[in-house]
Chains A and B, each alone.
Chain A
Amino acid sequence: MRLRRTDPHTLAGAYALDALGAADRENFERHLLGCEACRAEAAGLRDAAGWLAEPAAAVPPARLRAQVLAEAARARQQPPPVRGTARVRRSWHGIGWRAPRLAVAMAGAGMLVALALGTLLLSTQHQLRVQEAHSSQIAAIMNAPDADIMTVQARTHGSATVVMSHAAHALVLTTARLPALPSTECYQVWLMGTHRTRSAGRLPPPKQGMTPPMIVAGLAAGDQMGVTVEPTGGASSPSAPPVLMLALPAG
């Protein structure tokens, strides 16, 4: 809990030394996904840490070589990662964020978790059917051949991950670790076009820090997606600067 209020950048050294406990490590790796500079720093520090092994070098028992080579000859190798159906862009210009390959895997996993949570929390059959329809829409967007995945840091804290299909004019939005709001306020999602701004609805309440996937449909060329803090009932137009903003790439 304390970590969440700590500046995660300072953990780069401890991370590179494998000196984070499991929970701290997981939090930091999530932070890395949205912070390219941090990934670069962590890689550099990890490389330096790796050299610390040199003075420790010691000759292993001679039998180990034959054992390891024999084991390897019997062990199946993992296939290389293959790009899935989601098309991944390595970078976009003009907004200063990237969609690293790692993020795809992590965001995908995150969404599955969110989906699972969402599904578990539903009890009645009716709700389940609604949820199934919702899930299949989500799956359709996430598996669209032209799906793009993007992660953007919020100005405050936390991040949003978006999977967008141009062909479907829709995106799936999840967020992680946005600051909790008092009951009098909510997060509202907007599509901000060149001519007008439309509300895309309120973010669902977070479960364990993550909001379940939300579908935002009716995207138009040139739209940006923004999230603002509004009174609980929602607002008809954004009343405050967005806490996060994402220019949606043109198809």
Chain B
Amino acid sequence: MTAELPGERPRAASGGELAGLLAKVARGDEAAFAGVYDHFATVVYGVVRRVVRDPAQSEEVTQEVLLDVWRTASRFDPSEGSARSWLMTLAHRRAVDRVRSAQASAEREIRASRAATDYDVVVEEVETRLDAQRVRRCLDSLTELQRESVTLAYYGGYTYREVAALLGVAVGTVKTRMRDGLIRLRDCLGTDS
């Protein structure tokens, strides 16, 4: 069903499903790769677009990320983390690397004004999914400074030093808030499923 409706995901494929798909992709299975695309293209494109902003560049980066998946699926090692985490790391890193290498400082300032608050505004609204709701609820359980630190870094692509400057707080404070915020997020996502 997903093959006909590439924009919709039934639900995020479970970690096990994705790991299974990746194992097939590593062996050159193009149908399995199409499965990865159908399950994850919206979330990959979404996060890339949030960080990169520019639609044309976002499309480019999304394509690079998915081709990375194709090329390097054999390097995925389940002992180092979940398949989903591996894929999201590829996507987020690529997006962040793109903005850090290319973004002019003026553009970064504009993004700064938006990035922190609009994590729940999507470019093209995907049907509301349980996972997204769960994440929003968990984000809301963070303290304000934790949430700002985490979202500026993740959605804005800022380094912790930049986040500290944007928030006008000490670098050490931001580091701690990022870690505490993610720990709280992790615990919330883990217990709330």
Complex CA–CA separation, A141 to B135 (angstroms): 50
Is B89 in contact with A50, judged by CB distance below 8 angstroms? Answer: yes
B116 contacts A by Cβ under 8 Å: no
Complex CA–CA separation, A14 to B122 (angstroms): 24
Complex CA–CA separation, A72 to B33 (angstroms): 9
Is A64 in contact with B59, judged by CB distance below 8 angstroms? Answer: yes
Give the nearest-CB partner of B96 in chain A: A18
Is A77 in contact with B7, judged by CB distance below 8 angstroms? Answer: no
Q: Which of A12, A14, A46 is B81 in contact with, Cβ under 8 Å?
A: A46
B residues near A17, Cβ cutoff 8 Å: 150, 153-154, 160, 178, 182
A184 contacts B by Cβ under 8 Å: no
Is A80 in contact with B74, judged by CB distance below 8 angstroms? Answer: yes
Is A64 in contact with B63, judged by CB distance below 8 angstroms? Answer: yes
B30 contacts A by Cβ under 8 Å: yes
Q: Binding site of A, secondary structure by majority: helix, strand, loop or mixed?
A: helix
Is B186 in contact with A56, judged by CB distance below 8 angstroms? Answer: no
Most chain B beta carbons < 10 A, residue from A58, A65, A72: A58
Give the nearest-CB partner of B12 in chain A: A54
Complex CA–CA separation, A24 to B154 (angstroms): 17
Give the nearest-CB partner of B8 in chain A: A59
Complex CA–CA separation, A39 to B81 (angstroms): 10
- With known contacts A10-B176, A59-B45, A60-B45, A53–B92 Cβ distance under 8 A: yes
Q: Binding site of B, secondary structure by majority: helix, strand, loop or mixed?
A: helix
**How extensive is the interface on chain A, given as a class?**
35 or more
B54 contacts A by Cβ under 8 Å: no
Chain B: minimal CB distance from A85 (Å) = 20
A residues near B47, Cβ cutoff 8 Å: 52-53, 56-57
Chain A: minimal CB distance from B50 (Å) = 4
Complex CA–CA separation, A55 to B129 (angstroms): 9
Give the nearest-CB partner of A59 in chain B: B7
Is A55 in contact with B122, judged by CB distance below 8 angstroms? Answer: yes
Give the nearest-CB partner of B69 in chain A: A72
Would you give the 0/1 interface string for B157-193, flagging 1 where the beta carbon is closer than 8 Å to chain A?
1111101000000001011111111110110010000
- A residues sitting closer than 8 Å to B (CB atoms) are 10-14, 16-21, 24, 39, 43-62, 64-65, 67-69, 71-73, 75-81, 101-102
User: Which are the 8 A-B pairs with shortest beta-carbon distances?
Assistant: A13-B179, A50-B88, A13-B178, A48-B186, A80-B74, A60-B45, A19-B153, A53-B47
Add 13 more A-B contacts to A57-B45, A58-B49 (CB < 8 A). A13-B182, A19-B178, A20-B160, A49-B154, A50-B84, A51-B135, A55-B135, A56-B122, A57-B132, A59-B42, A61-B59, A64-B41, A72-B30
